[in-house]
């Protein structure tokens, strides 16, 4: 999955994958953050699409994120977790933290 990001996004130098319970719950509940649910998230990260489910550890995972990661810096992996990217490691972590901090503030 990480290698697929680097192949698709030459501007990216860091990838963060995590299993935050809130993001995973959104995808399990069938809720998408691709539309504007919270304006603060859209302003800082844009829409956050949810990828198709892919079994962790299989070749399905990089295939599932290939298109979405070309257009977004943050995606939710269906029933799995999150993937954020950035020009730097701090940028990728910052995207993840911004989103999670805003989730907790509402
Ligand atoms: Zn994982």
Could you tell me the distance, in angstroms and rounded to a whole number, from the CA of residue 38 to the centre of ligand 1? 25
Could you tell me the distance, in angstroms and rounded to a whole number, from the CA of residue 8 to the centre of ligand 1? 20
Looking at residue 41, its pLDDT comes to 65
Q: Are 76 and 82 in contact (CB under 8 A)?
A: yes
Q: What is the CATH classification number for the domain harbouring 54?
A: 3.40.225.10
Could you tell me the distance, in angstroms and rounded to a whole number, from the CA of residue 1 to the centre of ligand 1? 10
Domain count, the chain: 1
Domain with 9 in it: 2-104
Could you tell me the distance, in angstroms and rounded to a whole number, from the CA of residue 37 to the centre of ligand 1? 25
Could you tell me the distance, in angstroms and rounded to a whole number, from the CA of residue 54 to the centre of ligand 1? 11
pLDDT digits (tens, 9 = 90+) for 28-81: 999 887 776 666 666 666 778 999 999 999 999 999 999 999 999 999 999 999
- How far, in Å, CA of 65 to CA of 48, rounded? 12
Looking at residue 106, its pLDDT comes to 41
- How far, in Å, CA of 69 to CA of 63, rounded? 11
Looking at residue 104, its pLDDT comes to 47
pTM across the whole model: 0.81
First vs last C-alpha separation in the chain: 31
Burial class (CB in 10 A: 0-12, 13-18, 19+), 63: middle
Looking at residue 28, its pLDDT comes to 93
Q: Are 3 and 81 in contact (CB under 8 A)?
A: no
């Amino acid at each position: 999955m990480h290698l697929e990001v680097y192949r698709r996004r030459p501007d990216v130098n860091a990838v963060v994958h995590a299993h935050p319970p809130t993001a995973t719950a959104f995808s399990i509940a069938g809720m998408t953050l691709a539309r504007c649910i919270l304006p603060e998230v859209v302003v800082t990260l844009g829409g956050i699409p949810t990828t198709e489910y892919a079994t962790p550890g299989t070749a399905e995972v990089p295939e599932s994120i290939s298109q979405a990661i070309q257009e977004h810096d943050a995606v939710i992996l269906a029933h799995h977790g999150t993937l954020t990217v950035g020009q730097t490691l701090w940028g990728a972590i910052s995207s993840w933290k911004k989103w999670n901090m805003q989730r907790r503030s509402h």
